[in-house]
């Protein structure tokens, strides 16, 4: 269908965007790459939004090194995340994830900040950020806040961003020596949303496992992580089934999603073994 | 608030090499602006939620969904549609390969297919069939079963690589 927008303003800079958003009587909606928001508007899942278009704010785009972390500007596009040399060297999980996200034309405009703020429970980047223990930077009219990824995703399409705030950057720890990253998912066709997906980060300090498309938000599988730390893969697969409570829908039953999660964990573990062997 | 947010937005852009100035409704899709206002009906509006790829056009050198971008966002951009790419003969070899390989039947998806394929071909090299398939996976065709489309793109990639080497 056709989108219904209440109004539009093209932000000149972040201060302008925050000012306009603050004066929108709660009707303001931040428009970045638009690859989820405009689709939602087209399906009339949302209508009458006052769009604050931040897509031209070059200050929010690009990847920079900051000590032991990388700072990824919110407007860095998926295609850029996939080809950025700093991300390839220090956060391979994000580079790997790009190949699973939709299709080339979507990746040309979609942004990592937009995908994170949209908080689709089936999306890859939010689960990656939880697995990595990333920090989400949001800027409001008076202050900037940093929120741990685990606390950021609240529910389906719901995050810790408050009225008047804009997601401005994502801060991810650089991989340490010997660290391994793997993302695995099952989708019916290339580019479709995953029926189930899993990110595995193996660090000296321990394993981190985050899943997507198996609940209302990306979630850490804490008991499976403990079993992996103990070297018990079979135990981790069993524990994973208890860590998650996936929904049944037209795409897959809860039992099938739970089964897939175990398969994906075994695949991810095997890939890490293969990489380090 | 009303003086901040506009329901009509002025845009100034380049379409198929020609400068265009227009005042567009805030929620209008780029594809509808191109088709209805400029009469460039090559690319199609179909699923209107970014799944089918029939509305694919080139924006600032990249293949983009015309239904997932607002016309208001196109201010300052350089846009090419299948009309411009045809008129400038930029994709003549690709179009001929589509005909030679029967890579179209009804033709509805073809303008989007051409823009998507040209983005891959413009990177140079000879992509594998799997890479072609992956790159074109966001463009639906209900007639051909895709095999002929992959054939056409592959043959152009090989021909262009051969020409470059000669």
- Which token pair is B125? 């090299």
Q: State the best of A104, A111, A192 to mutate against chain B, taking most chain B CBs within 10 Å.
A: A104
Q: Which of A3, A51, A104 sits opposite B119 (nearest CB)?
A: A104
Residues 116-145 of B with CB under 8 A from A: 116, 119-120, 134-135, 137-139
Interatomic CA distance for residues B166 and B157, integer angstroms: 14
Res B1 pLDDT > 60:
no
pTM of the model: 0.95
The neighbour count for residue A22, using CB atoms within 10 Å, is: 15
Dist. CA A170–CA A133, nearest whole Å: 11
- Residue pLDDT, tens place only, B141-157: 999 999 999 999 999 99
The token pair at B53 is 């790829």
CB atoms within 10 A of CB B115: 29
pLDDT of residue A273: 87
How would you classify the pairing of strands B18-25 and B56-59? unpaired
Whole-number Å distance between alpha carbons of A11 and B109:
35
Tokens 């391979």 -> residue? A92
Distance CA B166, CA A203 (A): 50
Measure the CA–CA gap between B40 and B38, rounded to whole angstroms.
6
Predicted local distance difference test score (pLDDT) of residue B163: 79
The residues facing B64 across adjacent strands are B57
Q: Do A108 and B64 touch (CB under 8 A)?
A: yes
Residues A121-142, mean pLDDT to the nearest whole number? 98
Give phi and psi for A204, each to the nearest 5: -60, -35
pLDDT surpassing 60 at residue A256? yes
Give the integer Cα–Cα distance in Å for B156 and A275: 36
Of B4 and A175, more confident:
A175
ipTM above 0.90, yes or no: yes
User: Chain A partners of B9 at a C-beta cutoff of 8 Å?
Assistant: 8, 10
Phi/psi at B132 (5° precision)? -60, -45
DSSP letters for A51-70 = EEE-TT-GGG-SEEEETTEE
Gap between the Cα atoms of A76 and A169, Å rounded: 9
pLDDT of residue A159: 98
Helix (H) or strand (E) holding A148: strand A144-148
Q: How would you classify the pairing of strands B78-80 and A158-159?
A: unpaired
pLDDT, average across residues A60-79: 98
Q: For residues A95 and A92, what is the distance between their CA atoms, to the nearest angstrom? A: 5
The span from the CA of B48 to the CA of B26, in Å, is: 17
User: CB-CB: which of A2, A5, A109 is closest to B69?
Assistant: A109
Supply the pLDDT for residue B2.
53
First-to-last C-alpha distance (Å) of chain B: 62
User: Is B64 part of the contact surface with chain A (CB cutoff 8 Å)?
Assistant: yes
H helices of B19-81, where?
30-32
In 3-state terms chain B splits into helix, strand, coil percentages (rounded to 5) of 40, 20, 45
The vertex-A192 CA angle with A58 and A220, nearest 5°, equals: 75
Average pLDDT, chain A: 96
The runs of H, that is alpha helices, within chain A are 14-22, 37-42, 78-83, 85-90, 92-98, 104-107, 112-118, 124-132, 149-152, 222-229, 233-243, 254-276
**pLDDT range class, residue B164, cuts 50, 70, 90:** low
Among B32, B48, B50, beta carbon nearest to A35: B50
In our burial notation (b when 16+ CB lie closer than 10 A, e otherwise), range A96-116 reads: bbbebbbbbbbbbbbbbbbbb
Give the contacts of A232 (CB within 8 A, at least 6 positions apart).
none
Q: What is the pLDDT of residue A274?
A: 83
Beta-carbon separation of A5 and B63 below 8 A: no
For the cut 80, the answer to whether the pLDDT of residue B96 exceeds it is yes
Identify whether the C-beta of residue A120 lies closer than 8 Å to the C-beta of residue A35.
Answer: no
């Amino acid at each position: 269908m056709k989108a219904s927008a209440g109004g539009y303003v093209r932000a000149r800079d972040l201060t302008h965007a925050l000012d306009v958003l603050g004066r929108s009587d709660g009707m303001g909606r931040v428009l970045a790459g638009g690859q989820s928001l405009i689709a939602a508007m087209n399906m009339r899942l949302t209508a009458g939004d006052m769009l604050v278009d931040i897509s031209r704010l070059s200050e929010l785009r690009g990847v920079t090194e900051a000590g032991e972390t990388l700072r990824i500007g919110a407007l860095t596009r998926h295609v850029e995340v996939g080809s950025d040399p700093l991300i390839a060297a220090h956060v391979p999980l994000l580079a790997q994830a790009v190949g699973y996200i939709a299709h080339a034309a979507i990746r040309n405009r979609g942004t990592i900040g937009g995908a994170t703020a949209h908080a689709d429970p089936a999306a890859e980047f939010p689960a990656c950020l939880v697995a990595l223990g990333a920090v989400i930077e949001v800027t409001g009219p008076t202050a900037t806040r940093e929120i741990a990824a685990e606390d950021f995703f609240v529910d389906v399409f719901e995050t810790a961003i408050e009225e008047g705030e804009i997601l401005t950057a994502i801060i991810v720890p650089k991989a340490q020596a010997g660290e391994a990253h793997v993302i695995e998912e099952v989708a019916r066709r290339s580019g479709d949303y995953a029926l189930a997906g899993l990110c595995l980060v193996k660090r000296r300090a321990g394993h981190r496992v985050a899943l997507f498309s198996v609940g209302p938000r990306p979630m850490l599988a804490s008991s499976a992580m403990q079993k992996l730390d103990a070297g018990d893969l079979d135990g981790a697969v069993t524990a994973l089934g208890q860590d998650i409570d996936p929904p049944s829908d037209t795409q897959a039953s809860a039992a099938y999603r739970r089964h897939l999660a175990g398969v994906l964990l075994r695949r991810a573990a095997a890939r890490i073994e293969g990489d380090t062997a | 608030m009303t003086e901040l947010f506009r329901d009509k937005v002025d845009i100034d852009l380049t379409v198929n090499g020609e400068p265009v100035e227009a005042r567009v409704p805030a929620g209008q899709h780029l594809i509808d602006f191109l088709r209805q206002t400029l009469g460039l009906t090559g690319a199609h509006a179909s699923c209107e939620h970014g799944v089918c790829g029939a509305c694919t056009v080139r924006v600032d050198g990249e293949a983009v969904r015309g239904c997932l971008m607002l016309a208001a966002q196109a201010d300052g951009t350089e846009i090419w549609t299948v009309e411009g790419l045809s008129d400038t003969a930029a994709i003549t070899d690709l179009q001929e390969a589509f005909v030679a390989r029967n890579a179209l039947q009804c033709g509805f998806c073809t303008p989007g297919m051409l823009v998507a394929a040209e983005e891959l071909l413009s990177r140079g090299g000879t992509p594998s069939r799997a890479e072609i398939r992956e790159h074109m996976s966001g463009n639906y065709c209900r007639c051909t079963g895709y095999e002929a489309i992959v054939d056409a793109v592959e043959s152009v990639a090989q021909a262009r690589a051969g020409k470059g080497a000669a």
